[in-house]
């Protein structure tokens, strides 16, 4: 009979924990509801042997069990809750061979909770170059555990790790240090009061109140007396505990670790002098972003054209093969155009995730955080705000959740409120189709106009985020102090297996989540566009024939389709809001797309694809349909003025109900998402109105 083990993967940030997770789980990962930086546990499965499967839980990176942010508290809550279905049978603590001293603090804390704990020393391939040698048998004896020396780059040590996991019951759960040596009387009384409880677990539960967050402690509610001691006294005890742990770690490493400083390379410092230079650092970052946006357009054009023509051909084939009827119409006019409107942008989204993953894998993203801190401080943010702002280019939802590692509440709240200004990948389909329609071919200094326009939209969103942050920092009456600490990881050549898994998982998740919404909305839109009230809809043939008797059959069909669409339920809704959006350069069809895209921004393209498919030729591409759309005066609907107006509206508007929901969850109030929604929508309307009136 097959059995399964719960395995918790822990470690400091930048220890290569994600690489270990990817090496063990491959494509079996479940990343929760949304892609992005890990702020909640990520799960995957691993076959340990023929009869045993491992359920691996990748927990957020944490420096110790003294949690100072929400994402770190996730680790504490799991390790202290034996009743959780995810409570680990064994913990695997991942360390970096170059930072063992700091990394081992977390290891000793986890081990002292009484959970079988394995130590992984990662990046073993760096040892020779860095002049590092380890006495593994001595370290195993001193730390009283099993050690796996791993290099995911060279695919070494994973079998040793799996074998250690399978034999976890043989691991010692003896404590690394004695708490009695910190304050003998305090911990003696604690043990006397709770003789059947783990003293270290009790200590962790007691100190969480002074660290960050209250944890459910129904089983040991009598601990009140021990929690009501002065927080300053408890913190002093924590500090003494940390000192004791490092004394123990220093003693162990003095015997088991040897570093030859002459063998260490100065490669990192030489690169840092350039990449985080107060002038050249910004120039290099700007050039990297420009290159990314140019590549997104240039590299993805061939697969996008192929997908576009494939969906048009599919509609034509199905139209000729399937019998006429409601189902065929729904398939050809609703489902296929709606899905085609999002599938076409898979190449661009995949390239975006690819480049972001490369920046993270090389260690450059941490340099960006450090580089931007000085500038962001002026706007009421910190360097840690860069992570949500940059990860917001993938999706605002995990970006908002990633603010949990910002300890300062005011900085965290401001980051949450301004992050949706960052151009997310859901906006990319809107920008891509509009840029292709209204921005001419050509180049400036070797950069094509379309790539420059996309870069400008990203910069506009980022600049607006900074301006909004500055206003909020001046107006929010929240007093707080903050300190900025960031770790500079070593530079690494990207491990392309990690990059590939990241691109696959995030693109797949994005497409499946967006696809559900788009499919549902496409069907709803088709129903609303295919039916309508009164004679104007059901007697459209007779009305058009009376008004235009000279038209041939093909022209008559197009005219009837347009007339029926205009008098359908969706047409009536669009006509109702048209006076409000007409000054922005939009017609009623674009108005429908604006409303429907509140479910998800990328629905905009699918909505127009459905509307135009119902109205005209089913087998034409969405780009051709939009480019041929004209106003009442015969001028193109999508021109420079209306196109830029529409792009700026999407750059500033809060067109995402899921983001509002997550903001409510993270702020625990409807006040902030309400302010966010109306503030961003009003700003978007004013900017779009001004843009169209100036350019028209």
Domain assignments of the chain as residue spans, ordered by start = 3-184+245-263, 280-475, 496-695
Helix (H) or strand (E) holding 4: strand 3-11
Per-residue pLDDT band for 91 (boundaries 50, 70, 90) equals very high
pLDDT at 224 over 80: no
Q: Is 94 helix (H, G, I), strand (E, B) or coil?
A: strand
What number does CATH give the domain 3-184+245-263?
3.40.50.300
Residue 334 CB burial class (10 angstroms; 0-12, 13-18, ≥19): buried
Q: Where are the beta strands (DSSP E) in 275-321?
A: none
Backbone angles phi, psi at 653, to 5 degrees: -80, 150
Q: Where are the beta strands (DSSP E) in 385-495?
A: 443-444, 447-448
Give me the chain's average pLDDT, please.
Answer: 79
CA distance linking residue 454 with residue 432, whole number of Å? 8
Q: What would the mean pLDDT of 653-679 be, rounded to a whole number?
A: 83
**Of the listed ranges 5-19, 95-109, 267-281, 594-608, the one predicted with least confidence:** 594-608
Q: What would the mean pLDDT of 401-417 be, rounded to a whole number?
A: 80
**Of the listed ranges 228-232, 366-370, 496-500, 647-651, the one predicted with least confidence:** 228-232
Kindly state the tokens that stand for 129: 């170059």
Most confident of 71-80, 105-114, 391-400, 528-537: 105-114
Of residues 666, 232, 658, the one with CA closest to residue 409 = 666
Q: Where are the beta strands (DSSP E) in 147-280?
A: 147-149, 257-259
pLDDT digits (tens, 9 = 90+) for 291-331: 776 776 677 777 877 887 787 788 778 877 778 777 777 77
pLDDT digits (tens, 9 = 90+) for 452-476: 888 888 889 989 999 999 998 888 8
Per-residue pLDDT band for 479 (boundaries 50, 70, 90) equals low
Of residues 529, 520, 613, 522, the one with CA closest to residue 570 = 529
**Of the listed ranges 500-504, 549-553, 611-615, the one predicted with least confidence:** 611-615
CA distance linking residue 65 with residue 53, whole number of Å? 28
pLDDT at 36: 33
User: pTM for the whole thing?
Assistant: 0.62
CA distance linking residue 662 with residue 649, whole number of Å? 22
- Determine the straight-line distance between the first and last CA of the chain, rounded to whole angstroms: 72
pLDDT at 338: 66
- Residues 9, 42 contacting (CB under 8 angstroms): no
Sign of the CA dihedral running 332, 334, 335, 340: positive
Helix (H) or strand (E) holding 45: strand 42-49
């Amino acid at each position: 009979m097959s059995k399964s083990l719960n395995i918790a993967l822990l470690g400091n940030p930048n220890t290569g924990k994600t690489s270990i997770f990817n090496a063990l789980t491959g494509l079996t990962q479940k990343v929760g509801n949304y892609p992005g930086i890990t702020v909640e546990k990520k799960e995957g499965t691993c076959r340990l042997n023929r009869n045993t499967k491992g359920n691996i839980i990748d927990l957020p990176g944490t420096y110790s069990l003294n949690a100072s942010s929400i994402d770190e508290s996730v680790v504490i809550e799991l390790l202290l809750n034996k009743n959780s279905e995810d409570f680990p049978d064994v913990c695997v603590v991942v360390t970096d061979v170059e930072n063992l001293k700091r990394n081992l603090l977390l290891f000793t804390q986890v081990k002292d909770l009484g959970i079988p704990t394995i130590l992984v020393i990662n990046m073993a391939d760096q040892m020779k170059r860095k002049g590092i040698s380890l006495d593994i048998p001595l370290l195993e004896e001193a730390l009283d555990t099993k050690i796996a020396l791993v290099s995911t780059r060279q695919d070494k040590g994973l079998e040793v790790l799996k074998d250690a996991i399978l034999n976890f019951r043989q691991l010692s759960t003896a404590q690394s240090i004695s708490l009695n040596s910190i304050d003998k009387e305090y911990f003696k009384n604690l043990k006397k009061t709770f003789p059947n409880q783990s003293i270290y677990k009790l200590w962790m539960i007691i100190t969480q109140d002074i660290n960050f967050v209250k944890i459910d402690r129904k089983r040991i509610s009598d601990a009140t007396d021990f929690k009501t001691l002065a927080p300053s006294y408890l913190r002093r005890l924590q500090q003494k505990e940390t000192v004791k742990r490092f004394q123990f770690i220093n003693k162990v490493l003095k015997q088991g670790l040897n570093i030859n400083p002459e063998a260490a390379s100065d490669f990192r410092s030489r690169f840092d002098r350039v990449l985080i230079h107060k002038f050249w650092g910004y120039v290099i970052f700007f050039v990297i972003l420009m290159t990314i946006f140019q590549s997104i357009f240039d590299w993805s054009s061939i697969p996008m054209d192929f997908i576009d023509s494939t969906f048009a051909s599919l509609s034509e084939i199905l139209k000729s093969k399937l019998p006429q009827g409601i189902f065929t119409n729904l398939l050809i006019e609703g489902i296929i155009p709606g899905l085609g409107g999002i599938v076409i942008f898979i190449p661009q989204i995949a390239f975006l995730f690819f480049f972001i993953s490369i920046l993270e894998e090389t260690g450059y993203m941490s340099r960006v955080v450090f580089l931007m801190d000085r500038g962001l401080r002026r706007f009421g943010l910190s360097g840690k705000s860069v992570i949500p702002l940059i990860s917001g280019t993938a999706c605002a939802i995990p970006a908002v959740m990633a603010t949990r590692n910002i300890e300062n509440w005011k900085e965290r709240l401001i980051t949450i409120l301004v992050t949706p200004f960052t151009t997310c990948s859901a906006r990319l389909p809107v920008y891509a189709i509009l840029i292709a329609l209204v921005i001419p071919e050509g180049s400036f200094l070797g950069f094509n106009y379309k790539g420059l326009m996309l870069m400008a939209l990203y910069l506009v969103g980022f600049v607006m985020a900074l301006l909004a942050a500055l206003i909020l920092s001046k107006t929010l009456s929240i007093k707080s102090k903050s300190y900025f600490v960031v770790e500079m990881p070593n530079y690494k050549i990207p491990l392309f297996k990690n990059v590939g898994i990241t691109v696959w998982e995030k693109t797949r998740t994005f497409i499946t989540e967006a696809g559900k919404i788009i499919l549902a909305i496409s069907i709803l839109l088709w129903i609303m566009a295919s039916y309508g009230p009164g004679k104007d809809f059901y007697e459209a043939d007779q009305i058009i024939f009376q008004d235009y008797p000279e038209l041939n059959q093909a022209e008559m069909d197009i005219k009837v389709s347009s007339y029926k669409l205009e008098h359908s339920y969706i047409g009536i809704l669009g006509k109702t809001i048209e006076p409000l959006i007409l000054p922005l350069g939009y017609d009623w069809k674009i108005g429908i797309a604006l409303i429907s895209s509140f479910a998800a921004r990328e629905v905009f393209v699918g909505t127009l694809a459905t509307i135009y498919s119902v109205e005209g030729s089913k087998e034409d591409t969405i780009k051709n349909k939009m480019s041929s759309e004209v106003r009442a005066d015969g001028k193109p609907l999508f021109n420079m003025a209306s196109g830029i107006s529409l792009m700026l509206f999407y750059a500033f508007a809060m067109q995402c109900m899921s983001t509002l929901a997550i903001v409510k969850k993270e702020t625990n109030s409807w006040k902030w998402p309400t302010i966010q929604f109306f503030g961003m929508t009003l700003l978007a309307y004013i900017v779009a109105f001004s843009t169209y009136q100036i350019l028209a």
